[in-house]
Each structure stands twice: as C-alpha cells, then as structure tokens.
C-alpha cells in the first residue's frame, strides 16, 4: 500500500501495537526520565550550572559602574588596561566590549565576590578558562555570579560567542592571589 492512500481502517488508534514497538517506547521513556531527573541533580550537586541573577540596565549606566570601580580600586596597569583589586565580598564589574574584557581583575583566593557582567555593544560569551564557567553576556542586561576562587593563578577570559572581526583577540585576565 502506498503512503499517499488513506488508511484501510479509519480508527487507526485501535490498531494493536507490536511488542517491538512497545519495547522501544519503554526504552525511550525510561531514558527521558533519567535525563529529566539528572538535570536538577547536576544543577545542585554537579557544579555544572551557575545560579545567577540578571538585571536590566543600559550600556551607559553599566559603563559608569565599571569606571567607578576602576577609579576606586585601581592598583596598576598591565598591557594598557587597569588592574583592579576590590576587597573581598564586594561587587566586581567586568565589561565586554569590542574586542576586550575591561578591566583586569585581581581577586583573593578563598574569598567570595559578586561578579557583574555586561556588554557595551554586542552579544559576547564569557568563558573562564581553565575553570570552564560559561555565561552569555548581553547588552542591556547585567548578569551577576557569586564566585569564590579556590586556586591561585592566572585565569583567562575568552569570548566564545562570535562578535565580529576581532573576536579571536578578545581575551581578558583574572589574577587570583594567595
């Protein structure tokens, strides 16, 4: 029988289901349930997904916050960018713009910070390496992540969302001190 012909019986749902079809339906349903319950488990215990906050803002207002933090906590310059060392427990502002992360941060090991992220122009991706923290950074929104660096060293921020011709050069740094 060709697929373009109407079915022989009008009441197709009363057709008996074969045993092999029932087995595959049960396998698919079981796998869906496993994945469904693994999502909240990994969120709570797997340290895979960040719990964050997001607020609406404007690029101009956010840039004012970033510049106020830079003016208050600047300790030196590195590669033409200011390095800021805010006190533990404070709000830390990081701005993504073509094609850099501004400013360079200097944080203390085992101290908590509220890291604010936003973009001045396009959508950027905040990828902290080698920790593998990934956040989409959008203009008009301020994402807030509470973070506690647990290892000293230099961390690289990579833009993992294509943002234009200089995308491959969009890198930033976070120094974590003992």
Per-residue pLDDT at 7 exceeds 70: no
Choosing among 3.50.50.60, 3.90.1300.10, 2.60.40.420, 1.20.1730.10, the CATH entry for 52-177 is: 2.60.40.420
The pLDDT value given to residue 8: 66
Residue that the structure tokens 């079915």 belong to: 7
Per-residue pLDDT at 66 exceeds 80: yes
83, 107, 92, 77: which is closest to 177 by C-alpha? 107
Per-residue pLDDT at 133 exceeds 90: no
Q: Are 112 and 92 in contact (CB under 8 A)?
A: no
Q: Over pLDDT 70: what percentage of the chain?
A: 92
The domain spans of the chain are 16-45, 52-177
- Taking the complete model, does pTM exceed 0.75, yes or no? no
Of 14-18, 114-118, 165-169, give the lowest mean pLDDT range: 14-18
Q: SS3 letters for the chain? A: CCCCCCCCCCCHHHCCCCHHHHHHHHHHHHHHHHHHHHHHHHHHHCCCCCCEEEEECCHHHHHHHHHHHHHHHEEEEECCEEEECCCCCCEEEEEEECCEEECEEEEECCCCEEEEEEECCCCEEEEEECCCEEEEECECEEEEEEECCCCCEEEEEEECCCCCCCHHHCEEEEEEEC
What mean pLDDT value characterizes the chain?
A: 88
The pLDDT value given to residue 129: 84
Rg (CA), the chain: 25
The better pLDDT of the pair 100, 47 is held by 100
């Amino acid at each position: 029988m060709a697929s373009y012909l109407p079915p022989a019986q009008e009441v197709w749902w009363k057709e008996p289901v074969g045993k092999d079809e029932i087995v595959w339906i049960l396998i698919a349903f079981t796998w869906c349930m496993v994945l469904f319950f693994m999502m909240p488990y990994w969120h709570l215990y797997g340290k895979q997904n960040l719990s964050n906050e997001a607020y609406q803002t404007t690029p101009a207002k956010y840039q004012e916050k970033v510049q106020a933090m830079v003016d208050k906590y600047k300790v030196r310059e590195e590669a033409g960018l200011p390095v800021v060392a805010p006190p533990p427990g404070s709000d830390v502002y990081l701005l993504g713009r073509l094609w850099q992360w501004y400013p360079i941060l200097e944080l203390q090991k085992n101290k908590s910070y509220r890291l604010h992220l936003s973009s001045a122009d396009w959508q950027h991706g905040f990828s902290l390496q080698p920790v593998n923290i990934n956040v989409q950074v959008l203009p008009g929104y301020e994402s807030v992540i509470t973070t506690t660096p647990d290892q000293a060293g230099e961390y690289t921020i990579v833009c993992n969302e294509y943002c234009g011709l200089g995308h491959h050069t969009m890198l930033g740094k976070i120094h974590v001190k003992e």
